Amino acid sequence: MEEIKRPKGTKDMLPQDDYKWNYVENTFKAVANTYAMREMRTPIFEYTELFLRGVGDTTDIVQKEMYTFNDKGNRSLTLKPEGTAPAVRAFIENRLFSEAQPTKLFYVTPCFRYENVQKGRLRQFHQCGIEMFGSKEPSIDGEVIAFAMEVLKKLGLKSLSLNINNLGCPNCRPNYNEALKKFLQENYDNLCPTCKERFEKNPMRILDCKERKCKEITKNAPQIIDYVCEECETHFEKVKEYLDILEIPYAIDPGIVRGLDYYTKTIFEILNDDFTVCGGGRYDKMIEELGGPNMPAIGFGMGIERMIMTLENEGFEIPKEAEIALYIGSMGDAAYKASFKFANELRSKGTKVEINHMGRSLKAEMKYANKIGARFTTILGDDELENKQIKLKRMRDGEIFSGSLLDIEKIIEIVK
């Protein structure tokens, strides 16, 4: 029969690479813990309306990239293309807004976008993200950015740069939209079909278009930062103050608009050289727009696959997890059963142990122990069972250590 392949745009996480994924996820979770954040997990699919209202129907994600289908009840469902809208929906539905604020959440989740497969972009990818609900203070903008920088530094990235921008709010955005439309009007006929649709609904989305001709048209467009209201300008100035307090260098990049409609006020991107590894910002109106109370929010996301690729491109050697501490070989049926029990006694104490499940010869067992990188090996036979004594061989130099089968703690001390 013909071999079945994985779908285009997806990738298998293989056993030999699991330590890379665990390294990124565990580092992210460890930093989240120091910021007093709690984990949230949301379903892999949501009602399509959530993303139409939350992400925005003029975004590339909604217009071009969502995996949407009808279920057997003819309800429109979508595999989640990003983590923020589902987190907001869960925040509202479970009435977390009634708890003491701010609510500080993190998640690690698969996401799905139908887009051109290229280096660093997959149709199923995995994202680490945080969302902080309830605070309008600029200090929390600074904390979110500091969190992202801390994670990236802890992971081992060196060449990091932070770009920030001010996207204004619904009060000042209309003035900017009018100025932008006036600028784009003379080149309207040269815009791509998608951007022509956006011209009336949401002209700011045109700035995020990936089409070359649209990029050329918008390169000298008016900048939103010149049109923001006093409140937004004051907020942004205070965000910069908090970044200065933490000695986090930044550059103001008026060209950042991000690819989502929900952002307001502060947005940011963190680059490793010229490669974006993290992005996020404020979205103070989404909770209300999705049926919750009027509450501000801010967050960011970073892709796990992209992070691993970036670390490897930098030549960073991701630390491997603990090796197998002990391989237990055996000679004879009684010794094999004893090794089976002995291994599980050691495992119950947190020691990484492997035994012979393949009926290998003694010589083949030792080759296998070497192949899987066991730090120590031992062979159980009749003499060892009778005397309750074993010899532990350290594989890197061949040194022999003696131990008692009855003294589990001493054996653990030796192999660790």
From the annotation, which residues make up the binding site?
82-84, 113, 127, 131, 258, 262-263
Q: Which of 302, 233, 236, 234 is nearest to 266 (CA)?
A: 236
> What is the DSSP secondary structure assignment for residue 241, as one 8-state letter?
H
Distance CA 230, CA 217 (A): 29
Cα separation, 117 vs 4, in Å, equals 20
Specify the pairing of strand 389-394 against strand 376-380.
Answer: antiparallel
Residue 274 · residue 253 · CB < 8 Å: no
Instruction: Determine whether 12 is exposed, middle or buried from the number of CB atoms within 10 Å of its CB (0-12, 13-18, 19+).
Output: exposed
33: Cβ–Cβ under 8 A, 6 or more apart, which residues?
Answer: none
Give the Cα separation of 267 and 145 in Å (integer): 10
Q: Prior bond to 222 cis, omega within 30?
A: no
Question: Which residues have CB under 8 Å from 39's CB, separation 6+?
Answer: 29, 32, 105, 106, 107
Amino acid at site 198:
R
Task: Read off the amino acid at residue 42.
Answer: T
Rounded distance between C-alpha atoms, residue 161 and residue 275, angstroms: 10
**Residue set of the binding site for L-histidine:** 82-84, 113, 127, 131, 258, 262-263
- State whether residue 414 is helix, strand or coil: helix
Question: Of 170, 178, 148, which Cα lies nearest the Cα of 161?
Answer: 148
Within 13 Å, how many C-alpha atoms sit on residue 116's CB side? 4
Dist CA 184 CA 188 (whole Å): 6
With beta carbons less than 8 A apart as the criterion, state whether 286 and 262 touch: yes
Separation between Cα atoms, residue 402 and residue 416, nearest integer Å:
14
CA distance 170 to 182: 19
